[in-house]
Each structure stands twice: as structure tokens, then as C-alpha cells.
Amino acid sequence: MPHIISRRSFIGTSGALAATLTTTAGAASLQSSTTARLKGLPLPAGARLPATPPRRKRDDSVGIAIVGLGGYALNQIMPRIEQAQRAHISALVSGNPEKLAQVGTAYGVPADARYAYEDFDRIAADDRIDAVYIILPTAFHADFTIRAFAAGKHVLCEKPMALSSAECEAMIAAGRRANRTLMIAYRCHFEPYNVEAMRLMRERAVGAIRLIRTDQSYRAGPTTPAQNWRFNRALAGGGPLEDYGLYGVQSALYLSGEMPDSISATTFQPKGDPRFTEIFAHVGAQWTFPSGAVAQLATAYDSAGANFGQVRGTDGTLIMDPATSYSGQRMRIEGRNARDFTPGDPTVQFAGQLDHFTSAIRDGTPILTDGEMGLRDLRLIEATYASARTGRTVRLAPDGRMLG
């Protein structure tokens, strides 16, 4: 008997469905001049390194290998791992030997727990490593996830989960085979403002939802696909939608509590701009939901900065601006329940995400932001590009697959 599942329930669905899902090919129509190749880059300018190595706090602490020592790993994630209850950095994986030595010394990671990318599979024999945190350009997420599972490790993988829904399905299947945990690092699910916004919307604080608007944009400096992986089709996919715009996709889903049943979208790729020879500069999309609500999503690499979310309901409007930052969130409701909100320190999201992951590993608690969620989002991204390419509205099944 086929699975019968409502759009609303798929939002929170995990595990059980994946085996019944079919593959849709990546839909972006852009050309890439390069194939994805691993590169060992030097320590980024201004990288934060600790003055003294952090200490492991508990015997049951989960040993994590950080895979990729770029800006996000060094400046946001690694300095905050100490704030997590039971996680510690037990190994590093990088393509740059000098950076590996510098970062390894700063974090007190022994020399024999510092791996080059080509030695990655040797982590199988390293009992200090329980899990890997993959913080590489998107093109490498699937390969390193599947290899980590083959090595018997659990995986926390940065967003977007992968370049295509087909890759996501392969990652989920590899995790199942290995009987290991897969989590996608969607940090906003552990950030107090976004968690409170989800609760408020579930309690109908603005009444019945009619319109959701999200905008995640910035203006990129001069660059080329060879200089910056985010502008390289083979490494990043179609561009801002998979990167910053994914926060808008996620917000529209967790604020509405529904899956869209249609997407119509446009993309913009300016001619003669060296930044946008391979990726889109701007993506705009309109979703409809079964409830009658509509979402309008914008994301760009070529316009003034925005990180904005708004939900307009029958009785009021929720406004989040900035909505999904590392810190500095602001949130208010206008209308019947008018109020400003300060639900907590947004920076706890990084440790909260790790605590969620390590609880799943040590206590068997379910993962909220699992592989199925990452897969769902890649399906919506593929449907967005399919709509933009064909100029037609794409209809969606409750699990995000394109219909017809």
C-alpha cells in the first residue's frame, strides 16, 4: 500500500519515508567550466585560533573530526565546540599541511590525528573519532559523508546537504547501511528567535497565515568561479539559492508548517559580469500552500544586504530582521498581539546544534534536521530551477517531488 502522508506531516517526517522516494535529477541549467577538485587552501586571513587548547569535559564526550578548515569552521564552529556539553575536537582533516599543523597545535589535536584529504579513509581505524563534521564546499558533502559512513562514523554535514536530490538519497542510504546518524547542520532550529517564531506560528499568534516573505541577499565583491567556490557551478550548484537563500526556504517551511504544492520561479544571470558566468545572481520564487497561504522568496548575490523574514496573518504580522544571523536577531509582532521578543542569545545555536547531534549518538534521541529534511530542501531547489528554466509553474507532491 502506498504511503499516505499530508504536506503538514512531511515537515516533521524522518527516516521511514526515504526508501519510497524516487530521484529527480539536478535541474539547474547552467554550465560549469570546472569539475569539483579538492584544494588545500592556506589559513584564511583573520582566522580565530584559541590561545590555549580547549579541554575535554566528560568521559562520554563525542570525538569529532572537523573536515575542512575554512572560514566557517575556524571562525564560528570550532571556537564554540567547547560550549557544547559533550563534544570535543579529536581530529582534523585538511588539504593544507601548514594550516593543519597550525590549527592542530592551537586546538591540541595530536599530530597523528591530523589527516590529509587523501588519507581520510584511514579514520576508520581511529577510535578517537566518533563522528565527522563536514564543512567543505557543497560538491564534497556527498562523497565525504558516504566515506565517513563506510568508516563507521556518524556524520554532521553542513548545508546545503548536497548538489542534488540524487546525492542526498545516496547519503541517506549509506547512513542506513552503516546504522549511523546523519544530521544536516541547519543551525536555526537551535536558535532561540527562530524556535520561538516556530512556536508562535503554531499557536496562531498572527492568526491564519496568508503571506510569508523571505529575503536573504548580499552584494558580492569582485570574484570569479576560479577564485571563489560559491561562484563555481561544479562546487556550489546554481548559487545564492543553495547558500544564503536556503535560510529563506527553511524559514518558509518551518514558519508555515506546510509543504508547498506549487512553485513558480525566475532566475537572473547578468551578461558580462565575471562573478556570474556559472551561477545565477538572483533567484525569486513564489510558493503556494494547500492552506491557501503564499510564500515569496528572494535571494541574491548582487544586491544590498537583506536577511529578512515576515509572516502576515489574518490578525497580525511577524517580522524577523535580521532573521537568521549568527547573532543580533530582532523579532516583533505587529497587530493584535503586538510585542517585541527577546527569547535568548542567538549564539547558543552552535552549541545547541552539537548537543542535539551528540544526544542522538549517545542516547538515541531522534534527529530533527535529518537527511530527509536536507533531501526535501534539495527537491524544492530543483523544482525552483525547473520552473525558472521552463517558465511554468511546477506542481509538487507532499514530499517535494515534482509532479508531471
Nearest to 63 by CA among 89, 102, 83: 89
Among 138, 164, 307, 358, binds ligand NAD (CB under 6 A): 138
Cell numbers linked to 229: 567556490
Nearer Cβ to ligand NAD (232/288): 232
Least separation in angstroms between CB 34 and ligand NAD: 9
Among 5, 23, 40, 49, binds ligand NAD (CB under 6 A): 40
Per the CB < 8 A criterion, the answer to whether 345 and 80 are in contact is: no
In the bound complex, which residue of the shown chain has the CB atom lying closest to ligand NAD? 70
Least separation in angstroms between CB 337 and ligand NAD: 30
CA distance 365 to 373: 16
How open is the CA angle 390-283-303, to the nearest 5 degrees?
Answer: 150
Give the containing element (helix H, strand E) for 211.
strand 209-219
Cell numbers linked to 30: 547552467
Nearest to 254 by CA among 203, 199, 291: 199
CA distance 281 to 225: 13
Give residue for cell 539536478.
26
Nearer Cβ to ligand NAD (167/258): 167
Here's the x/- map for ligand NAD, 204-243, by CB under 6 A: it reads as -------------------------x-----x-------x
Q: Exposed e or buried b for every residue in 116-147, given b needs 16+ CB within 10 A?
A: ebeebeebeebeebbbbbbbbbbbbbbbbbbb
Nearer Cβ to ligand NAD (46/364): 46
DSSP for 343-403, written as a single string: -S-TTHHHHHHHHHHHHHHHH-PPPSSBHHHHHHHHHHHHHHHHHHHHTSPEEE-TTSPEE
Site residue total, ligand NAD (CB under 6 A)? 24
CA distance 31 to 194: 36
Least separation in angstroms between CB 160 and ligand NAD: 7
* Angle between helix 371-390 and helix 245-256 axes, rounded to 10 deg: 110
**Where does this chain touch ligand NAD (CB under 6 A) — which range of 67-75, 281-289, 304-312, 369-377?**
67-75
Establish whether 153 is a catalytic residue: no
Establish whether 57 is a catalytic residue: no
Here's the x/- map for ligand NAD, 91-120, by CB under 6 A: it reads as ----x-------------------------
- 149 to 208, contacts with ligand NAD by CB under 6 A? 158-159, 185, 187
Per the CB < 8 A criterion, the answer to whether 349 and 188 are in contact is: yes
Least separation in angstroms between CB 89 and ligand NAD: 15
Among 26, 68, 237, 248, binds ligand NAD (CB under 6 A): 68
Among 62, 78, 136, 252, binds ligand NAD (CB under 6 A): 136
CA distance 220 to 44: 18
From the list 115, 193, 247, 301, the catalytic residue is 247
Nearer Cβ to ligand NAD (237/257): 237
Nearer Cβ to ligand NAD (40/79): 40
Among 37, 179, 203, 272, binds ligand NAD (CB under 6 A): 37
**Where does this chain touch ligand NAD (CB under 6 A) — which range of 82-90, 130-138, 196-204, 278-286?**
130-138
Please give the positions annotated as active site: 159, 247
| Binding-site ranges for ligand NAD (CB under 6 A) | 37-41, 44, 68-73, 95, 135-138, 158-159, 185, 187, 229, 235, 243
